[in-house]
Chains A and B, each alone.
Chain A
Amino acid sequence: MDWLKIIENTLRASIGVDAIYFAIAAIGLNIHFGYTGMLNFGQAAFMACGSYGLGMTAQYFGVGLWWGIPIGIVFVVILSLIVGIPTLRLRADYLAIVTIATAEIVRLFVRSVKFNKVFGGTEGISNFSRQYRELNPFEPSKTYGIRPFLFTGYSIFTIFVGWILVGIFSLFTWQLMRSPWGRVVKGIREDEDAVRSLGKNVYAYKMQALVIGGVIGMFAGMLLALDRGSVQPDNYSRMVTFYILTALVLGGLAKVSGSVFGSMFFWVLFVLSDNIMREATRNGPLRVAGFTIIESNQVGAVNYMFVGIGLMLLIVFRPQGLFGNRQEMALDGR
């Protein structure tokens, strides 16, 4: 087993593009989930809004790449209204049901044959990122960085842009939650009725929070699309939301640094166990005492199983995550 390679891959994953887009999506989800107490299980759909907003600019609207941002925001607002209007007056689990269903149906829509002309079907959309690539000051084919943090010129540009975005959104969220608006939103999480009795329009605050967190999630989708150079529907399955949720809970809810470190840590653990299992099964299935324990094509399933177990254990035994504050952690209002 090539431990050096495994450790290098693991370290690289901690600052790689996956960790970055998870961090951005988790910051957005944190506004819903950690600060406002809204169970949004459809963050992947908000990400898809960003990616498809970006992807459709050049392809269908015939405008520059940067128009993707306003288009994406329009998509996010529409999606927020669809999931928010019926559910935000009701108990928290209604939002969970509707977001999870909407996210799945958004994915079915964009990958459908029927709307192939608009969203590109299962192949998705590519050839939209030229303007972005032209901004790249690095040589795309060269390798940059020091071992083990070696990236191609293309990735390193995305990583720079990504970490700048993470910084901006962290700062934004931190300031937002210290503002009067943030205090109201946190009050809604603790006791909705109390906030209402103070004359605040809880419904409007929740809707605003949904849109703000959704817009941040949208940037995660955009970054993913720019990094991959294509938009593909299956990158936005509901499982993605669950993994982001796990990363968020791992870092700690209602804490800005929690989203960022949680995502980094999630990818470190994920890549570590994935690499170890892949190395172990590289030369055929792993057998112990004549029994096949695991084959190489089962590695993904086992790893995702660990994510599920991890999510359960975290919520039960350490709901505040690694960095969170138990006082702030109120999934269930007291």
Chain B
Amino acid sequence: MPMTKHFWLKAFLMVLCSSFTLFGLGAGTAQAAEDGEFFIIASVQNQILKDSKTERTPVAGVTIKVTSLDGKLIGEAITGEDGLCKIAVPTRDNYLIDIDIKTLPDGLNLIDAEKTQVRVNQELFTTSTKRVTFFTGDSGVAGASEFERIMQRLADGIRLGIIIAMCSVGLSLIIGTTGLTNFAHGEMVTFGALVAFFFNVNLNIPILICGPLVILISGCFGLLINWGIFARLTKRAIGSNSQLVVSLGLSLMLINIYLFLFGGRTKQLTSYSKQVNLRIGPIGITPRDLTTMFMGIGILLSVALFLQRSRFGKAIRAVSDNVQLASATGIDTQKVIRIVWFASGALAATGGIFRGLDEQVSFSMGSDLIFLMFAGITLGGLGSAYGALVGGFFIGIFVEMAALFVPSELKVAPALFILILVLIVRPQGIFGRSQRVG
């Protein structure tokens, strides 16, 4: 297709040129004078829970370091009796504030052991001082018994498992029906969460009302990706490995568009953000999480039922099994592929919304999950929808349970272990049929 080829190239060049001219024109118009002194004030507070009230006391003698993003040391100070220290910085810029945990008084630990570093973003550095607080103390779970901790982790794991399963079904179905390993799938998850954020926070529409709309939009986003990119590539007979690299490029593009539009911070959805834990036996869970859990289980069951019983579901499974055979029996494979892209976008978005409610919304939330999704679908068998459901669910639980033994910052590492183990022992996964390989 020489016509379209030139069209796309030209379009891209035009966009590129026009953007450069725009930048060229805009230079030197605005000006801002920034002077005066800028400080970062770091505060270290010990937080204790007393009669269900938090009490904070300052911690003195802790070393705090400020570095620039390229690792240059800007300043270092030690907190005083008020738990505060003041470090001068040259300009409003991005900085990394580190607390030296070795200098903490004996017996004190950070509540969140991962948070030894706080990043100050230039965009948030609006006044002449920027305050950063580190909290020490226990996070309230230390008093829990071993059994309670395990049950709590199990509940968290089930929630994560539901999200992973939901997101992986589409990923696996796309591999099954088109042969494409879509590395941009994580960005489809983020897409759902960000659109939900836009409706919920910017337009102030409750999640329950805008949720279905978001899911619909995200389904169409999936269709758009297929129509705009991957269907065309298949038509041009571009092989699946090249398509894989294209999906990497797409992922790179999308994640930076999100970063551009949304910024680098994590933000919270407004609906159901402040809730108190319900106690159910040993487990503390918010009503919101309980609801999303049951909704998630309902969605997963209906997906399974759809695949098992409905005509389309059967067609999807048939194409996923063997494309040639399915099209020989009269199934419109292109239509099936379109349905799969729609479903995959919609399910990914649902997972994204749930994840956004569960944790927070950020531009990289989907790509942070993609390893777990890949581990899940490999465990279940690449291309198998049921495999993705079961594998994803299992991986979610496994990762949360593993956090009992490994530091939480490394809790995805056991998922890689599973991934490698599965590939050695049973590369076709639980539900996959073994092919002759090697």
Contact of A302 among B26, B98, B116, B256 (CB under 8 A): B256
C-alpha gap A289/B410 in the complex (Å): 48
User: Does A230 count as interface, using CB distance less than 8 angstroms?
Assistant: yes
Give the contacts of A81-121 with B (CB-CB under 8 A).
82, 85-87, 89-94, 96-98, 100-102, 104-105, 108-109, 112-114, 121
How far, in whole Å, are A331 and B247 apart by their CA atoms in the complex? 14
Q: Which of B236, B409, B427 is within 8 Å of A112, CB to CB?
A: B409
Is B252 an interface residue, CB under 8 A from the partner?
A: yes
A-side contacts of B374, CB under 8 Å: 97, 101
Whether the Cβ atoms of A319 and B241 lie closer than 8 Å is: no
Task: Check if B105 is an interface residue, CB within 8 A of chain A.
Answer: no
With A87-B423, A315-B245: A307-B252 Cβ-Cβ less than 8 Å = yes
Report, as a range, how many residues of chain B touch the other chain: 35 or more
Whether A86 contacts B257 by the Cβ 8 Å rule is no
Contact of A286 among B22, B94, B260 (CB under 8 A): B22
Q: Which residues of B contact A246 (CB under 8 A)?
A: 249
Asked if B378 and A309 sit within 8 Å, CB to CB, the answer is no
Complex Cα gap A30–B256 (Å): 26
Chain B residues with CB under 8 A of A286:
22-23, 26-27
* Segment of B43-51, B301-309, B413-421 in the binding face: B413-421
Report whether over half of chain B's contact residues are helix, strand or loop; otherwise say mixed. helix
Which of B28-36, B79-87, B198-206 lies on the face that meets chain A? B28-36
Q: How far is the CB of B4 from chain A (nearest CB, A)?
A: 10
Q: Is the CB of B416 within 8 A of A332?
A: no
Who on chain A is nearest to B371 by CB?
A101
Which residues of chain A have C-beta atoms less than 8 A from B256's C-beta?
301-302, 304-305, 308
Q: With the chains together, A331 CA to B246 CA distance in Å?
A: 12
A122 nearest CB neighbor, chain B only: B117
The 8 Å CB contact of B407, one of A101, A112, A276, A301, is: A112
Task: Decide: B26 and A39 in contact? CB cutoff 8 A.
Answer: no
Q: Which residues of A contact B12 (CB under 8 A)?
A: 309, 313
A284 in contact with B412 (CB, 8 Å): no
Q: CB < 8 Å: which of A101, A123, A312 contacts B416? A: A101
Q: Is B375 an interface position by the 8 A CB rule?
A: yes
A302 CB contacts on chain B under 8 angstroms: 256, 260
> Closest CB of chain A to B268's CB: distance in Å?
21
A308 touches B249 (CB 8 A): yes
State whether the Cβ of B144 lies closer than 8 Å to any Cβ in chain A.
no
Taking a contact as CB atoms closer than 8 A, the residue among B28, B96, B233 that contacts A283 in the complex is B28
- Which A residues touch B246, using CB under 8 A? 311-312, 315-316
How many angstroms from the CA of A330 to the CA of B382 in the assembled complex? 24
Minimum CB–CB distance from A16 to chain B (whole Å) comes to 15
Verify if A328 is at the interface (C-beta below 8 Å from B): no
User: In the bound complex, what is the Cα–Cα distance between A332 and B238 (angstroms)?
Assistant: 8
Instruction: Tell me the minimal C-beta distance from A89 to chain B in angstroms.
Output: 4
Contacts of A317 in B (CB 8 A): 5, 8-9
Shortest Cβ distance from residue B50 to the other chain A in the assembled complex, whole angstroms: 28
Chain A residues with CB below 8 A from B31, complex form: 283-284
Shortest Cβ distance from residue A91 to the other chain B in the assembled complex, whole angstroms: 7
Are B252 and A308 interface neighbours, CB within 8 A? yes
Shortest distance between the CB of A27 and any CB in chain B (Å)? 19
B239 touches A284 (CB 8 A): no
Q: Given A112-B410, A331-B245, A316–B233 Cβ distance below 8 Å?
A: yes
| Contact, CB under 8 Å: B116 / A113 | yes
Given A123-B98, A230-B71, answer yes or no on A312-B250 (Cβ-Cβ < 8 Å). yes
B404-438 Cβ-contact flags toward A at 8 Å (1 or 0): 00010110110110011001100100000000011
B14 interfacial by beta-carbon distance below 8 Å: no
Whether B239 pairs with A331 at a CB distance below 8 angstroms is: yes
Contact among A105, A121, A277, A311 for B248, CB-based, below 8 A: A311
B183 to chain A, nearest CB (A): 8
- Determine if B242 is an interface residue (Cβ-Cβ < 8 Å): yes
**Which of A89, A105, A304, A331 lies in contact with B438, CB distance below 8 A?**
A89
Q: Which of B27, B236, B248 contacts A279 (CB 8 A)?
A: B27
Contact residue among B9, B20, B98, B437 (Cβ-Cβ distance under 8 Å from A89): B437
B178 beta carbon closer than 8 Å to chain A? no
A113 to chain B, nearest CB (A): 6
Task: Tell me whether B9 and A245 are in contact (CB under 8 A).
Answer: no
Cβ A94 vs Cβ B245 within 8 A: no
On whether the beta carbons of B30 and A301 are closer than 8 Å, the reply is: no
B113 interface hit (Cβ, 8 Å)? yes
Contact flag A311-B249 (CB < 8 Å), given A123-B98, A286-B23, A332-B239: yes
> Within 8 Å CB of B254, what residues of A?
308
Across the interface, which residues of B come within 8 angstroms of A277, CB to CB? Answer: 23
Chief secondary structure at chain A's binding surface? helix
Interface residues on A, range: 35 or more
Residues on the A chain within 8 Å of B423, using CB = 86-87, 90, 94, 98
Q: CA separation between A221 and B427, bound complex, in Å?
A: 32
B181, A97: Cβ atoms under 8 Å? yes
Chain A CB within 8 A of B244 CB:
yes
Interchain nearest-CB distance for B178 vs A (Å): 12
CB atoms of A301 and B437 under 8 A apart:
no
- Encoded as 1 (CB less than 8 Å from any B CB) or 0, chain A from 290 to 334 comes to 000111011001101111111111011101000000000001100
The answer to whether A280 has its CB under 8 Å from any CB of chain B is yes
Give the residue name and chain of the A residue nearest to B122 (CB): A297
User: B360 at interface (Cβ–Cβ under 8 A)?
Assistant: no
User: Which A-chain residue is minimally distant from B422 (CB atoms)?
Assistant: A86
State A282–B32 Cα separation when bound (angstroms).
Answer: 9
- Which single member of A86, A89, A96 contacts B420 (CB below 8 Å)? A86
Contact B259 A301 (CB under 8 A): yes
- Min Cβ gap B187→A in Å is 10
In the bound complex, CA of A284 to CA of B438 (Å): 58
CA distance A253 to B244 in the complex (A): 16
Q: Are A283 and B242 in contact (CB under 8 A)?
A: no
Once bound together, how far apart are the Cα atoms of A123 and B260, in whole Å? Answer: 27
Question: Complex: how many Å from CA A94 to CA B377?
Answer: 11
Q: Is A232 an interface residue (CB 8 A)?
A: yes
Q: Cβ of B419 and Cβ of A97 under 8 Å apart?
A: yes
Contacts of B238 in A (CB 8 A): 315-316, 332
CB pair B117 A108 closer than 8 Å: no
CB distance from B125 to the nearest CB of A (A): 10
- Residues of chain B whose beta carbon lies under 8 Å from any beta carbon of chain A: 5, 8-9, 12, 16, 20, 22-32, 67, 71, 94, 96, 98, 101, 113-114, 116-117, 121-123, 181, 183, 229, 233, 236, 238-242, 244-246, 248-257, 259-260, 371, 374-375, 378, 382, 407, 409-410, 412-413, 415-416, 419-420, 423-424, 427, 437-438
The 4 A-B residue pairs whose C-beta atoms are closest, nearest first, are: A332-B239, A308-B252, A308-B253, A311-B249
6 contacts between A and B (CB under 8 A): A39-B244, A97-B374, A98-B423, A105-B416, A113-B113, A317-B8
**Extra inter-chain contacts (12) besides given A105-B413, A304-B256, CB under 8 Å:** A97-B378, A113-B101, A113-B407, A122-B117, A280-B24, A286-B22, A287-B29, A305-B256, A307-B252, A308-B253, A311-B246, A311-B252
